[in-house]
Amino acid sequence: MSQQLQGFIFDLDGVVVFTDKYHYLGWKRLADTQGWQLDEALGHQLRGVSRIPALEVILQHNGVSLSEDEKHRLAEIKNEYYKAYLHDINENDLYPGAVAFVELVRERGIKTALASASKNAETVLEALRLTHLFDAVVTGNDITRSKPDPQVFLLAAERLEVEPSRCVVFEDAYSGIEAARNAGMQAVGVGERDRLPNAPLCITDYSELSLGDLIERGLD
């Protein structure tokens, strides 16, 4: 039987808020300026992937090779596009039920963290007035390795001062579930099962979870 959970760690995109459409618009705008092909199917592969690795997916798909300096230059341009689109973010972009669920977790005395590969995660939290919901925030500015490397989640657990084995991660990307498992944490997939075959449990609505059972028994 699992130890009682003491830390709930949430990815941002597709878990608390939907920013993936803004990322997609940023990448699509960049691709269009460069004459590269980028459709929604390829865009889906970029979910949960940090900036340079995401660009490399696009380059590989289009058979393009660039220098490291050029990759970083273009990635920064995409980020400026993304930040411009973020001006439109609002409460309609929140994942239904996510805020209420995090609030309920906190009412139970459980520590919460936001762990995202996005370097703009704090900007999103501030725009939506969500910063107060998390005891710790880890963003792409704090890490050097991308998921499925567990660095982002291990750092979140460290900042929460909770053992990894007593943490559960909420993730919407295959690579994120792998990162959670590589961290020795439990994982809940947020999204359809066919996208997250590696998740021990998948939900599409936070009301599907029994919080008390999850805290006490984990995913056993």
What sign for the dihedral angle of Cα 142, 57, 26, 65? positive
pTM: predicted TM-score of the whole model, two decimal places: 0.85
Which of 11, 20, 93, 172 is the catalytic position?
Answer: 11
Judge if 103 and 203 occupy the same domain: yes
93 is catalytic: no
- Which contiguous run of DSSP H or E holds residue 151? helix 151-160
Which of 13, 20, 135, 172 is the catalytic position?
Answer: 13
- Give 1's pLDDT tier (boundaries 50, 70, 90): very low
Q: What is the CATH number of the domain that holds 184?
A: 3.40.50.1000
Judge if 79 and 24 occupy the same domain: yes
> For 44-48, 80-84, 207-211, which range has the lowest pLDDT when averaged over its residues?
44-48
For 42, how many CA atoms within 13 A lie in the half-sphere containing its CB?
Answer: 17
Asked if residue 95 belongs to a domain, the reply is: yes
How does pLDDT run across 8-66, given as a tens digit for each residue?
999 998 999 998 889 999 999 999 999 999 998 999 888 767 789 999 999 999 999 99
Q: Determine the structural domain holding residue 45 and report its residue range.
A: 20-88
How does pLDDT run across 157-196, given as a tens digit for each residue?
999 999 999 999 999 999 999 999 999 999 999 999 998 9
13 is catalytic: yes
Judge if 56 and 111 occupy the same domain: no
